[in-house]
């Protein structure tokens, strides 16, 4: 009989990890603190409680969320199966009846003969083997224990991040590459604005609708990362003399310094993702697409991640995590879910699955599966352990995949080709690693 694996947290990631281990014959001790204690965002006793939305995003293969679902389906994901059995009408998206969804997952795990459920508040990292999947509102006592184990600098307690867009969605006829005063190696993409464009953008920004803060977030102070809309509210020229200052930048198309410039900084090694410098924001996602789409060159930008400012405890993955979400130097201790730096319901599910099947192989002394950066499963896992100057949580998106080695005309066609490759590789991994 295999070693019993302790899983802390019965959210989407922990529930998926428990299922993937138990179905492979591994006894699981699933520890959930509800109903003894609830996080500020949770209210029901069931597993895999959905908090912010009942939508699990798109299903079609020209969307990265759809591709991730196809990969999860191939791996017999409990979360995805229960979602499909609990679906409600939502057009091209997968949306669920939250109560039914949670009940199905709770029932499947509680009735499994190899899963033992305990209700307890965990304040220390359990003995290996274990998976910690306690989410972005991890209980402070366990957070302290993780900080002691990994180093306090390895934990981020607030997520104040600017939007990230895909490089191939930018209109490069309007964007130029340069660094201020010619320093560096043209590290930034620059979106120049005329005075009229700046004023129109400014008016839209200060009038845009903000996302609601949870009660437990309203006292938070985000020092050093003031929201761009708050900065703009201090005066019409505040941005032009701040993050949008054009000093030292000459537009090669005009030979002049623009009135204002929005700079984009490369986010990953492949150069497929770019960050809007200084644009931390609390705007609603639809408002971000509308307002930031007024920036020259970003009219048709695809957002790999929208800007956020909220409480979100997560690890500095590149500092402490190795492959398949394992703690560096301690491969039988795994993390999963938003605590690792993935963001989104299905992304959390994916991390729980990959962490669990990797741990299963490690416990049996076998090579761990490598889903590669040509699948969403693998690319998310690589994102959280790949060094980057400014590590940020990430959703599923095509920008994190290894680009195709050949050119495909049309974004939809290119995405479908990326999906075809990813599904084929997922099948090969399942076969080669006997998953």
Find the CATH number of the domain harbouring 123. 3.50.50.60
**Helix (H), strand (E) at residue 430:** helix 411-432
Q: What residue has token string 């741990």? A: 359
E-only strand ranges, 194-298: 260-266, 273-276
DSSP characters over 121-168: ---SPPSSSEEE---TT--HHHHHHHHHHH-GGGEEEEEEE--EEEGG
| Residue 352 exposed, middle or buried by CB count within 10 Å (0-12, 13-18, 19+) | buried
- Triad 322, 325, 328: Cα angle to 5°: 35
Q: Based on the fold, state whether residues 143 and 230 are members of the same structural domain.
A: no
> Can you name the residues that pair with 29 across neighbouring β-strands?
6, 116
Do 373 and 331 lie in one domain? The reply is yes
> What Å distances lie between residue 130 and 41, 116, 300, 330, 363, CA to CA?
25, 14, 44, 10, 11
| Three-point CA angle 371, 373, 374, nearest 5° | 85
Q: Which of 238, 272, 306 is the last residue of a domain?
A: 306
Write out the residue range of the structural domain in which residue 346 sits.
Answer: 5-159+311-432
The domain boundary residue, chosen from 272, 306, 340:
306
Closest C-alpha among 92, 24, 108, 22 to residue 361: 24
**141-149 long-range CB contacts below 8 Å, 24 or more apart?**
142/8, 143/313, 146/315, 149/125, 149/327
pLDDT tens track, the chain, 435 positions: 468 999 999 999 999 999 999 999 999 999 999 999 887 667 789 999 987 678 899 999 999 999 999 999 999 999 999 999 999 877 788 989 889 999 999 999 999 999 999 999 999 999 999 999 999 889 889 999 999 999 867 787 666 778 999 999 999 999 999 887 776 667 789 999 999 999 999 999 999 998 876 655 555 544 445 789 988 999 999 999 989 999 999 999 999 999 999 999 888 778 899 999 889 898 999 999 999 999 999 999 999 989 887 777 899 999 999 999 999 999 999 999 999 999 899 999 999 999 999 999 999 999 999 999 999 999 999 999 998 877 888 999 999 999 999 999 998 999 999 999 999 999 999 999 999
Dist. CA 347–CA 56, nearest whole Å: 10
Q: Last residue of a domain, which of 306, 322, 357?
A: 306
Report the SS3 class of residue 225: coil
Shared-domain flag, residues 266 and 375:
no
Do 12 and 140 fall into the same domain?
A: yes
- Same domain (yes/no): 186, 260: yes
Confidence (pLDDT) at 156 = 73
DSSP bridge pairs for 309:
160
- 133 and 78: one domain? yes
Taking the C-alpha atoms of residue 128 and residue 6, their distance in angstroms, rounded to an integer, is: 8
Do 217 and 326 belong to one domain?
no
How far is Cα 341 from Cα 382, in angstroms, rounded to an integer? 11
Distance CA 170, CA 176 (A): 11
Whether residues 76 and 147 share a domain: the answer is: yes
* Residue 134 contacts residue 48 (beta carbons within 8 Å): no
Q: How many CA atoms lie within 13 A of 204 on its CB side?
A: 16
The three-state secondary structure class of 229 is helix
Whether 151 and 170 share a structural domain:
no
Is the same domain home to 179 and 262?
yes
CATH number at residue 301: 2.40.30
| Cα distances (Å, whole numbers) of residue 121 to 29, 141, 219, 313 | 14, 9, 25, 17
Residues 405 and 354 in one domain: yes
Examine the domain organization and report whether 119 and 210 are in the same domain: no
Question: What is the Cα gyration radius of the chain?
Answer: 22
Q: Is 48 exposed, middle or buried (0-12, 13-18, 19+ CB in 10 A)?
A: buried
Number of domains in the chain: 2
């Amino acid at each position: 009989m295999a070693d019993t694996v302790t899983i802390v947290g019965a959210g989407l990631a922990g529930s998926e990890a428990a299922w993937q281990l138990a179905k492979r014959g591994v006894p699981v001790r699933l520890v959930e603190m509800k109903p003894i204690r609830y996080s500020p965002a949770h209210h029901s006793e069931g597993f895999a409680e959905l908090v912010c939305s009942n939508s699990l995003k798109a299903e079609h293969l020209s969307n990265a969320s759809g591709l991730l679902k196809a990969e999860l389906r191939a791996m017999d994901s409990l979360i995805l199966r229960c979602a499909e059995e609990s679906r409600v009408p939502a057009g091209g998206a997968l949306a669920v009846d939250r109560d039914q969804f949670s009940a199905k997952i709770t029932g499947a795990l509680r009735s499994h003969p190899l899963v033992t459920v305990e209700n307890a508040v965990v304040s220390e990292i359990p003995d290996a083997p274990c998976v910690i999947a306690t989410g972005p509102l991890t209980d402070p006592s366990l957070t302290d224990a993780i900080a002691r184990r990994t180093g306090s600098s390895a934990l981020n307690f607030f997520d104040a991040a600017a939007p990230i867009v895909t490089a191939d969605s930018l209109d490069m006829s309007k964007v130029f590459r340069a660094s201020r005063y010619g320093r560096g190696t043209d590290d930034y993409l620059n979106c120049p604005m005329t005075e009229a464009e700046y004023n129109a953008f400014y008016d839209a920004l200060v009038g845009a609708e903000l996302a609601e803060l949870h009660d437990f977030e309203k006292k938070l102070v985000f020092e050093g990362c003031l929201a761009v809309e708050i900065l703009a509210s201090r005066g019409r020229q505040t941005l032009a003399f701040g993050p949008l200052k054009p000093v030292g930048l000459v537009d090669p198309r005009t030979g002049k310094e623009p009135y204002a410039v929005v700079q984009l900084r490369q986010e990953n090694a492949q150069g497929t993702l770019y960050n809007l410098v200084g644009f931390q924001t609390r705007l609603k996602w639809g408002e971000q697409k509308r307002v930031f789409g007024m920036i020259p060159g970003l009219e048709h930008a695809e957002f790999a991640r929208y800007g956020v400012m909220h409480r979100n405890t997560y690890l500095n993955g590149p500092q402490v995590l190795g492959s398949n979400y394992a703690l560096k130097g301690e491969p039988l201790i795994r993390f999963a879910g938003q605590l690792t730096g993935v963001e989104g319901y299905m992304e959390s599910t994916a991390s729980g699955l990959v962490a669990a099947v990797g741990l299963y192989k490690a416990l049996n002394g076998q090579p761990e599966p490598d889903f590669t950066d040509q699948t969403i499963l693998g690319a998310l896992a690589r994102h959280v352990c790949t060094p980057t100057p400014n590590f940020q949580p990430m959703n599923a998106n095509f920008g994190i995949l290894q680009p195709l080695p050949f050119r495909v005309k049309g974004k939809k066609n290119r995405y479908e080709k990326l999906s075809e490759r990813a599904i084929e590789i997922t099948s090969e991994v399942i076969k080669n690693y006997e998953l």
